[in-house]
Amino acid sequence: MPDSITTRAFCEDDYSSVVQLWQQSEGVEIAEGDDQASMGGYLKRNPNLSRVAVRGNAIVGAVLCGHDGRRGLIYHLAVRVEERGQGLGRMLVQECVAGLRACGIKRALILVAHGNTAGRSFWQARGFELIAGAVPFGIDIE
């Protein structure tokens, strides 16, 4: 990772910059629960687990991370196109995994879009495995 980039906890003040990064990143889908109020609650329930990478004053990478007390969940990993290939995504994931481990979590999951072959390759290279037979289901409960 370049010396001019640092990582730190994702805080509520980062929201606008992070959403802008996600909107520019293929394979990241912004959905329900990604509004600022919901994100603030998520960050409070999972302190210091979600991470951002910063160059100067600009956020160049971000990832959401949390747990339910049993399983860790990682969402929305994104790195600016011009910053890719330097190990930044790998570093953010390592920080998430270390944070989950410190919380006593023994397994983490990530949802990757079926057609996101680059994302699948990235996660498999980080040791994540395809869960054969698992199919995600969801329901809006508003």
> Residue 92 domain-assigned?
yes
The DSSP code for 115 is: T
CA 115 to chain centre: 18
> Residue 35 domain-assigned?
yes
> Residue 47 domain-assigned?
yes
> Residue 135 domain-assigned?
no
pLDDT per residue as tens digits for the range 34-44:
999 999 999 99
Domains identified in the chain, total number:
1
Domain that holds residue 103: 5-125
Residue 61 pLDDT exceeds 70: yes
CA distance 32 to 56: 31
> Residue 104 domain-assigned?
yes
> Residue 21 domain-assigned?
yes
CA distance 95 to 86: 16
> Residue 141 domain-assigned?
no
Instruction: List beta partners, residue 64.
Output: 75
Whichever domain contains 58, its CATH number is 3.40.630.30
CA distance 75 to 91: 15
pTM of this prediction exceeds 0.85: yes
